[in-house]
Chain A
Amino acid sequence: MDTQELCSMREAYVLDGLTDEERRHFEEHLKTCKECQQEVTALQEVADWMLYDFDEVEIPDGMESRVLASVFGDELFEEGSVAIRSGGAKTGSAMDSRPAVDSGSAMDSGHIVRIPQASRPSRRTSVLRWLTPIAASVLILAGGSAYLYRQSLGLSPLRESVGTVQAQLPMTAVTKGSAAVLTVADRLSQQSLLIRFSGLPETKGSQIYQVWAIRPGQAPKSLGVFYPGRHGQALFASVLPKGYPTVAVTLEPHAIDKQPEGKKMFVANLT
């Protein structure tokens, strides 16, 4: 590329209209071309100005709660990479992942819901979508489809389709008085796993419930963790990875254990 051609790329450079290769060439040229440096600085002001060509619209109900839960929750749910400590200066519970906006009363009855990505196509493979009190999240099965109704911050309930129900079965409980019903739903190319719990024993100290997908001959795969609500209820949702015939729930002594160490509470065979 000759100098004249490179100088002709100024506008496209500030408007992000160059290919990666063109951009690299232009940025090399920019290091030494005083005229382009001046022009790009001036043109960049125009480009920055154009960032403000939008209308400030009303934001969707509950967006703050969902976004902040994801921002803070991703840290805790990057699988196996973060240990939630207990006791001491950093109070160790997954409730720490609750966005600041949700602090307060929600802490009393809160639990964690991992919303499956099967609900819509997404660039993410695993995202904690939002955290809500148990009373505010309801799984509805209707007409062969599964829907999650959620209510956050006193706003109108939102319905999220989880997909078509493929299977529903009770999980075998190890502890008397507790129960869990597992639902598998299909949407797009993914399977969603939803488990509704009741009568769960309270967690103590750093204990936390953890859900695992199990495949013979391989290490269990963590699907996430949760706390039960005030009355031992919880609703857990996650993407169900392919090729795992068994789902188990354990009561772990510490959160986000890479391998199950705690007592097995429920198990279900999906085949």
Chain B
Amino acid sequence: MTRTDEELMRDIAEGSRAALTELYRRYERPVYGFALRMVRDSQAAEEIVQDVFTRIWKARDSFNPSSASLRTWMLTIAKRIAIDYIRSRQRRGTLALDSEEKTYDVPDRAALPDEMASHADTSRQIRQALDSLPSDQRIPIERMYYEGLTQQEIAEILSVPIGTVKSRIRLGMEKLRRQLTSVEMEETL
């Protein structure tokens, strides 16, 4: 019988390596996929996955994902680690700060197994929502969220006042919020 996330976390808290292994197998793909989306480097993405599960294992006694789902909680950890990595890479000057658009390897959808389909739908909805924003709103949101840039850094890169950055981000987030609300309403109908 498949154990729930809560049951797995309870076993992990008691030191069960088998439970952590099961948790890993359940979430390695999304955590790796997200990490790769952030850092666009497969070795770095693997290290981020390793860090995520190491932190879970080391902090197993104090695990408390509060109200967030376990998946969201793990992705949030992955994001923080990835941001640290990106910032250190920026400090080393290996990431161009002025690149407006980025590309990374996109898998062949036809080769993906069926279980990825539902995630692919979610991902597509989010991507569509982000792409629907005017670029002057989307770019600062993405660079802040996925690259860890501060509002001041974005203002400098885009050569606009910080107040402009704030207002563009505020407008963009408001639109995303409305779209998220409409997606949730569609799903409940």
Which residue numbers of A lie inside 8 Å of B, CB to CB?
8-9, 11-12, 15-19, 22, 42-43, 45-60, 63-64, 66-68, 70-72, 74, 99-101, 120, 122-124
Contacts and interface: CB of A to CB of B under 8 A. Distances in A.
Interface string B105-132: 1110001100010011011001100100
Given A56-B120, A57-B36, A68 B173 contact: no
A58 B122 CA distance: 18
A67 B37 contact: no
A157 to B, nearest CB: 17
Given A51-B75, A54-B33, A46 B50 contact: no
Contacts of B76: 48, 51
A67 B50 contact: yes
B28 A11 contact: no
B169 interface: yes
Contact of A15 (B72, B123, B141): B141
A55 B180 contact: no
Contacts of B54: 70-71, 74
Interface in B130-144: 130, 141, 144
Contact of A71 (B20, B30, B141, B154): B20
Interface stretch (B3-11, B95-103, B145-153): B145-153
Contact of A64 (B25, B112, B123, B173): B25
B101 to A, nearest CB: 15
A123 B151 CA distance: 27
Contact of B79 (A45, A51, A71): A51
Contacts of A12: 144, 150-151, 166, 169
A37 to B, nearest CB: 15
B177 A43 contact: yes
Contacts of A100: 17-18, 21
Contacts of B177: 42-43, 45-46
Interface in B36-79: 36-37, 42-43, 46-47, 49-50, 53-54, 57, 68, 72, 75-76, 79
A195 B25 CA distance: 33
Given A12-B144, A57-B107, A74-B54, A17 B123 contact: no
A181 B3 CA distance: 48
B150 A45 contact: no
Nearest to B127: A53
A16 B42 contact: no
B42 A56 contact: no
Contacts of A59: 28-29, 32
Nearest to B107: A57
B32 to A, nearest CB: 5
B57 to A, nearest CB: 5
B72 A48 contact: yes
B30 A11 contact: no
Nearest to A72: B17
Contacts of A124: 47
Contacts of A68: 20-21, 24, 53
A51 B75 CA distance: 7
Nearest to B84: A123
A55 B47 contact: no
Contacts of A101: 21
A60 B32 CA distance: 9
A51 B73 CA distance: 10
B1 to A, nearest CB: 18
Nearest to B119: A56
A214 B76 CA distance: 43
A67 B49 contact: yes
A51 B106 CA distance: 17
A120 B79 CA distance: 22
Contacts of B72: 48, 51
